[in-house]
Amino acid sequence: MTDNHRYCVIMCGGIGSRFWPYSRTDRPKQFIDFFGTGRSLLQMSYDRISPLVPKENIIIVTNSHYAPLVKEQLPELNDDQILLEPARRNTAPCIAWAAYHIAARDPQASMIVTPSDHLITRDAEFEKSIRLGFNFVEKHDALLTLGIKPTRPETGYGYIQIGQPVEDDVLKVKTFTEKPDLDLAKVFVESGEFFWNSGIFLWSVKSILEALHNYAPDLTSTFDHGLAAFGTPEENAFIQREFPGCVNISIDYAVMERASNVYVECVDFGWSDLGTWSALYENSPKNRDSNVVQNCQVLAYNSSGNIFAVPGNKLVVVNGLHDYVVADAGDVLLVCPKSEEQHIKQYVNDVKLSYKDKYL
């Protein structure tokens, strides 16, 4: 199969509430340049995939609210490469729409599905892994996920238990486990049998549509109802009408945990999902006091292990602060121990209750 039949779907609709207050409803984290490179996480995702699939085969699925941001950051895309969801319905409906959309254009297509907000530091290894993955799913009726060797007992990730090797770095999947507690995560890491689920998938359009029909028939019955609309000017009107009624479910729960033809490719390309301030801290350069300073001015005395994300026109002066997140978004200042950052989603909920959407 030639590269012309290879597609990429970049999922770009999330709010990124764990990065509040930097990540806001009107400009979530995927649109932010966290590393001062001049490229946002979305743009870095696009740059990374561009050598692997034709640029006209890159499709962004995002919330309709973010259409102007996508067009601003990726002006090279045509309108038909940006699928605008009228409502947030998690990854299964998102992937289903993209698969129907691509199938109408190219029934022989294979596709990679990737989030827009991950960090990957070893691009050459990434390219090698994705080419191997494409070759595998083009030869087999397979649903392939990329597995990351765990470096710690992380409770915020899903885990994949590996089974028998199939070829190269591809193995059969035994089980999926979503976000285990700490004790179970420790057992998983010590066993050597478990990999983190990266949330990056490869499959042929034919295989994923068949799996969706088998395991998520409520979803496919909605899309089958409008089969004639895909690939035509009627597609958008159909989606506007029907998509909000789709079940809110992840592709992991809807398909991957239930299908029998699921495989994992074990990869090592410097992956982080950048889901939290601590993940950003770990992946950022640190000064001699182990502080991370995100494009801002800081004078820190007797302070270590902090991450400062503050507008560049403001000077931060701290004394005696250790292992904190200090994030200033203009109208919101967050000061929170890194060890307590799992509560940020609760802070966001409390802010919504007290102030509605003013600070979100």
Residue 171 contacts residue 264 (beta carbons within 8 Å): yes
Above 60 in pLDDT, residue 2?
no
Residue 34 contacts residue 280 (beta carbons within 8 Å): yes
pLDDT digits (tens, 9 = 90+) for 109-155: 999 999 999 999 999 999 999 999 999 999 999 999 999 988 888 88
Q: What mean pLDDT value characterizes the chain?
A: 93
pLDDT digits (tens, 9 = 90+) for 28-60: 999 998 888 899 999 999 999 999 999 999 999
Tell me the CA distances in angstroms from 311 to 25, 290, 314, 347, one per residue in order.
18, 20, 6, 21
CATH node for 6-272? 3.90.550.10
**Closest listed residue to residue 12, CA positions, set 52, 50, 58:** 58
Is residue 156 very low, low, confident or very high in pLDDT (cuts 50, 70, 90)?
confident
Residue 344 contacts residue 327 (beta carbons within 8 Å): no
- Write out the two tokens for 2: 């030639």
Q: Which residue has the tokens 């004639």?
A: 228
Instruction: Say what the pLDDT of residue 74 is.
Output: 97
63/157: higher pLDDT: 63
Share of the chain above pLDDT 90, in %: 76
pLDDT digits (tens, 9 = 90+) for 311-327: 878 899 999 999 999 99
Write down the domain spans for the chain: 6-272, 277-355
